[in-house]
Chains A and B, each alone.
Chain A
Amino acid sequence: MSGAQPAGLPPREADSAAASAVKAMQADGRHAEARERYAELVARHQRRAARIAFHYLRDGAESDEAVQDAFVKAYSHLSTFREELPFEVWFTRILINGCLDRIKARTRRERWMVSMPDSGPGERDFAERTAGHGPSPEDLVLARERRQKLAAALAKLPDRQRSVFMLSHYEGCTSREVSAITGLNESTVRVHLFRAIRKLRGMLTEGNHGAS
Chain B
Amino acid sequence: MGLLNPHLDDDDCADVWSARLALGAEESDRPAESHLRKCGECRARYADFTTWIDGLRTDAHAEADETFTRDKLAAQQAQIFRRLESLEQPARIIAFPRFARPVSVPVSGGRRWIAAAAVVGLITGVGLGQLMEFPGRTRQPESLAQNGPKPAVVETARAAQPASSDDDDETFLNEPEVTTSQARVPDSLQYLNAITPGARDYDPR
Q: Which residues of A contact B (CB under 8 A)?
A: 31, 35, 38-39, 42-43, 46-47, 50-51, 54-55, 60, 63-64, 67-68, 71-72, 75-76, 121-122, 125, 143, 146-147, 150, 168-170, 174-175, 178, 186, 189-190, 193-194, 197-198, 200-201, 204-205
Query: A194-B15, A197-B17, A197-B53 are contacts. A42–B60 as well, Cβ < 8 Å?
Result: no
Interface-facing stretch out of B73-81, B102-110, B113-121, B155-163: B73-81
Number of interface residues of B (CB under 8 A): 38
CB proximity of A109 to chain B, nearest CB, Å? 21
B interface SS class? helix
Task: Check if B83 is an interface residue, CB within 8 A of chain A.
Answer: yes
Bound complex: CA of A71 vs CA of B78, how far in Å? 12
What residues on B are CB-neighbors of A197 within 8 Å?
14, 17-18, 53
Task: Check if B61 is an interface residue, CB within 8 A of chain A.
Answer: yes
Bound complex: CA of A197 vs CA of B67, how far in Å? 26
What residues on B are CB-neighbors of A51 within 8 Å?
60-61, 64-65, 68
Bound complex: CA of A178 vs CA of B24, how far in Å? 12
CB proximity of A176 to chain B, nearest CB, Å? 9
Whether B22 contacts A54 by the Cβ 8 Å rule is no
What residues on A are CB-neighbors of B63 within 8 Å?
54, 121, 147
Whether A189 contacts B22 by the Cβ 8 Å rule is yes
Which of A64, A174, A200 is within 8 Å of B72, CB to CB? A64
CB proximity of B16 to chain A, nearest CB, Å? 10
Whether A68 contacts B61 by the Cβ 8 Å rule is no
Whether A38 contacts B56 by the Cβ 8 Å rule is no
Query: A170-B57, A186-B22, A189-B22 are contacts. A50–B15 as well, Cβ < 8 Å?
Result: no
Which of A60, A72, A146, A198 is within 8 Å of B68, CB to CB? A60
Whether A38 contacts B84 by the Cβ 8 Å rule is yes
Whether A146 contacts B76 by the Cβ 8 Å rule is no
Known: A50-B76, A198-B14. 14 other contacts (CB 8 A): A38-B84, A43-B77, A47-B73, A51-B64, A51-B68, A60-B72, A64-B68, A64-B72, A68-B83, A147-B63, A168-B21, A170-B61, A175-B22, A190-B22
Bound complex: CA of A75 vs CA of B85, how far in Å? 11
Whether B64 contacts A55 by the Cβ 8 Å rule is yes
